[in-house]
Structure 1
Amino acid sequence: MAITFLTTSKEIGDTSVGYGIKSIMNKIGILEDELIQDFKAFFNSIRYSDTPKSKMIKVDQIKEHSDLKEIPNRPGFYVIFSDYPMKHNACTCELIINGKCYKALYRGHSYGVQKRIGSHCFKSRYKGDYTVCLNLNGKSGINIDVDRRYCFHSWYVAYHRMSYNNRSNIFIRETAEKAFDECFSKPVGCKDKVKRMDKSN
């Protein structure tokens, strides 16, 4: 039997019949605000290093494409760090390895983080797979193994596990992006337009 959702001719959200999209969006926005505060508290409590305090984080260095095997190809949030010099990087997030500082150049999320990192850092192997990648010099994606601009620098990835019982939710991962940007400012290599949901009273 088909189920029919009824609405009136009024703006959806102002009706008492059926369901209100406006009300639902407001509730999602309120939930997003709460999750952002939770993620911000988490980000403010950790320090990125080769021995992160949280078991939710795994840090790996990548030089060659084969190094990606150390990064789980599972859902998660990630940050790409490097000592590659970039002007006008407002992001304050840093990774400390053996006393040396590496700046966050990109943050993102994916259902399969290993492949997504590959598209950022070994772009020539992933042509056509992704259109929005780490952008440092006006192009989407770089090749840290062959491009002389990048191969003499160090590159690290901090992977945040974001799955439960082998399930993941894009809303949660995108909320982590928004919280990261509010904590540290958006890394210079990110060209997306992530922002909080609009809420109407």
Structure 2
Amino acid sequence: MKNEIVSISVEQIKKETDVMHEKIKNKHFFPLFNSLKGQYSIDLAKSSKPTIIVKQIHTIVDLNKIPNQPGFYLIFTDYKNGFKDINSCTAILNNNPNARVIYRGESYNARTRLESHLFNDTYHRNLKSAVNRNDNYKVCIKLSENENVNLDSPSRVTEASWYVAYHGMRKSNRTIREMAEEAFDDVFGKPIFSRDKK
């Protein structure tokens, strides 16, 4: 006698997953981001979990202060006043109130991902010359249709101040980090150059 093959409802699984997703955001991420309102400042180093590091970025070497580990990250700038008039994100840097979050993201290798955003041409040159690299970030900040960020090439963009905030999330998976992105957007508003469809 053959066993009957069990049916599953993908729709029901999705509904249950969505409910759990919201519970986790409400329990963990909303309290975190609400507690960070007005708290982002240069050299903030929060040692409790998750680790939070905020640094000003002048050169690619400054990114060495950011672990190349899984995490959630923010990019602040005062370039064009953080695009204040068209940027719905309210997260600013205490030390420089004109510096607003223009991008938030998540990555398994946060430092490398930040390099792809802030030193785009250098990142792609290094990628072409590297052996055994498994990263190839093609979707990066574009300030306009043809303008990537290259902080190592003198321009109006490099005359501005740029900062990153890294939230350490070791042992996390992409789903968890994406929950952080969604919760950040719910608390602060979605940054202007974060164009993912969530």
TM-score (norm 2): 0.82
2:20 equivalent among 18, 31, 36: 31
Query: How do 1:78-157 residues align onto structure 2 when only pairs under 5 Å count?
Result: 78-85=73-80, 86=83, 87-97=85-95, 100-127=97-124, 129-139=136-146, 141-157=148-164
TM-score (norm 1): 0.80
Judging changes above 3 Å, is the alpha-carbon distance between structure 1 residues 162 and 148 closer, same or farther for their aligned structure 2 residues?
Answer: same
Partner residue, 2:133: none
Partner residue, 1:19: 8
Per the TM alignment, residue 52 of structure 1 is displaced from its structure 2 partner at its CA by: 3.6
1:74 equivalent among 40, 65, 69: 69
Distance 1:109 1:5 in 2: 43
Distance 1:67 1:5 in 2: 60
Size of the aligned set, in residue pairs, is 177
Amino acid across the alignment from 1:103: R
Largest Rg, 1 or 2:
1
**Structural RMSD (CA):** 2.1
Partner residue, 2:172: 168
Q: Mean Cα displacement is larger for which, 46-55 or 22-31?
A: 46-55
Amino acid across the alignment from 1:158: A
1:61 equivalent among 50, 56, 68: 56
Equivalent residues of 2:53, 2:166 under 8 A apart: yes
Distance 1:134 1:21 in 2: 35
Amino acid across the alignment from 2:110: V
Q: Mean Cα displacement is larger for which, 43-52 or 169-178?
A: 43-52
**Are residues 1:45 and 2:40 paired?**
no
Distance 2:117 2:183 in 1: 22
Per the TM alignment, residue 140 of structure 1 is displaced from its structure 2 partner at its CA by: 6.8
Judging changes above 3 Å, is the alpha-carbon distance between structure 1 residues 162 and 83 closer, same or farther for their aligned structure 2 residues?
Answer: same
Per the TM alignment, residue 68 of structure 1 is displaced from its structure 2 partner at its CA by: 1.3
Gaps of 5+ in 1: 7-16, 195-201
SS at match of 1:160: strand
Judging changes above 3 Å, is the alpha-carbon distance between structure 1 residues 113 and 53 closer, same or farther for their aligned structure 2 residues?
Answer: closer
Judging changes above 3 Å, is the alpha-carbon distance between structure 1 residues 135 and 35 closer, same or farther for their aligned structure 2 residues?
Answer: farther
Partner residue, 1:10: none
- Summarize deviations over 1:105-159 as a string: whole Å, max 9, x none: 1000000000000000000022372121112222473102214121111111000
Equivalent residues of 2:70, 2:106 under 8 A apart: yes
Distance 2:185 2:147 in 1: 20
Per the TM alignment, residue 49 of structure 1 is displaced from its structure 2 partner at its CA by: 1.2
- Summarize deviations over 1:172-193 as a string: whole Å, max 9, x none: 0001101111111111111111
